[in-house]
Structure 1
Amino acid sequence: MKRFFFACFLIVAGYTARSQSASPVPWTQAQLVEPSVLAAQLQLPISQRPVVIDVGPAGVISGARVAGPAGEKEGLGRLKKMLADLPREKPVIIYCGCCPFEHCPNVRPAFQTLLSMGFRNPRLLNLPRNLKADWIDRGFPLAPEE
């Protein structure tokens, strides 16, 4: 009998953990920006470019500001500081690229922060696999190495 209750507990605990880890997606399909579109926008004069912010562990896109991992308290704090003085109508594109979106610990809290701070044009760079496969391997602009 104890084994039966223990097995039921494990099933319920496993279901709860899975449902919490698959948190809802706060962006819409229309809010995704294709890499080729951002690469073209990076060729525009600086005043016409969107603000691009890296919310993950590696800042390699040309011109991107680096907040760091938004899944961590420090990175989310840096993101909020970066966003504080920006006009709310300014297009802001965030990206991580550490892993596929469904596993990424950074894009959801970062995008939710854009929404909660009232940004009217929040965007997420569409890197469904990762930064290497979806940006670097396609030859899009990289920041100069330091």
Structure 2
Amino acid sequence: MKKAIFLLILFFGFLNGTSAQSFTDVWTPKQLMETKILSDKIQQNKMKNTFVVNIGPDAVIKKSFNAGAAKDAKNLETLKQYLKKIPKDKEVVLYCGCCPFDKCPNIRPAFKMLIDLGYKNAKLLNIPKNIKIDWIDKGYPIN
């Protein structure tokens, strides 16, 4: 009986561990862009080779394209169609900002698609909390 209980505990512990690992980041730390860097590029009009795409509920950042929330397949398709116009060596910066990274349903599918399509300079804007705290409250450029 003790062995059966031990095996059950071990089994449920394994299930819990694997489910926690299934929501992993698809980007590297090197692929994160700090908000200050993007803000400076926008303010200094150095956006010629940088394309900023909102993949969340609203395009807040100045000069960004609104693909819509990437958790929806139709918005992922909108993003894919938009990306067809952008050479794969250009810097493409995705952002959401709806919630903290670990809870965001939009950034992982969109960033994975960007990588899978072969974009060499893919970036994710580092918005760890939300767009209000990490962009708007800092006075960075908005639409």
TM over 0.5: yes
Q: What CA distance in whole angstroms lies between the structure 1 residues aligned with 2:57 and 2:47?
A: 27
SS in 2 for 1:80: helix
- TM-score scaled to structure 2, two decimals? 0.85
Please state if 1:135 is matched with 2:140: no
Counterpart secondary structure, 1:74: helix
| Distance in structure 2 (CA, Å) of the matches to 1:87 and 1:32 | 20
SS at match of 1:92: strand
Return the alpha-carbon distance in structure 2 between the equivalents of residues 40 and 62 of structure 1: 12
Report if the CA contact (8 A) 1:98-1:131 is conserved.
yes
Count of aligned pairs between the two proteins:
138
Unaligned stretches of 5+ residues in structure 2: none
* SS of equivalent to 2:137: helix
State the distance in 1 between where 2:101 and 2:71 align. 13
SS of the residue 2:93 aligns to: strand
TM-superposed CA distance for 1:13, in Å, is: 9.7
Distance across 1 between alignment mates of 2:82 and 2:88: 12
Whole-angstrom distance in 1 between the partners of 2:142 and 2:45: 17
Structure 2 partner of 1:94: 94
Q: Aligned partners of 1:71 and 1:52: how far apart in 2?
A: 18
SS at match of 2:123: strand
Query: TM-score, structure 1 length as denominator?
Result: 0.84
Answer yes or no: is the 8 Å Cα contact 2:53–2:64 preserved in 1: yes
CA 1:29–1:89: 2 relative to 1, 3 Å: same
**What corresponds to 1:18 in structure 2?**
19
Is contact 2:49–2:90 with CA below 8 Å preserved after alignment?
no
RMSD: 2.3
Aligned equivalents of 1:131 and 1:66: distance in 2?
Answer: 14
Within a 5 Å distance, the mapping from 1:7-86 to structure 2 comes to: 11=12, 15=16, 18-19=19-20, 22-45=22-45, 48-86=48-86
Contact 2:43 2:141 in 1 (8 A): no
Unaligned runs of 5+ in 1: none
Percent of aligned pairs sharing the same letter: 38
Distance 1:18 1:98 in 2: 23
Give the distance between the partners of 1:14 and 1:75, measured in 2 at CA: 32
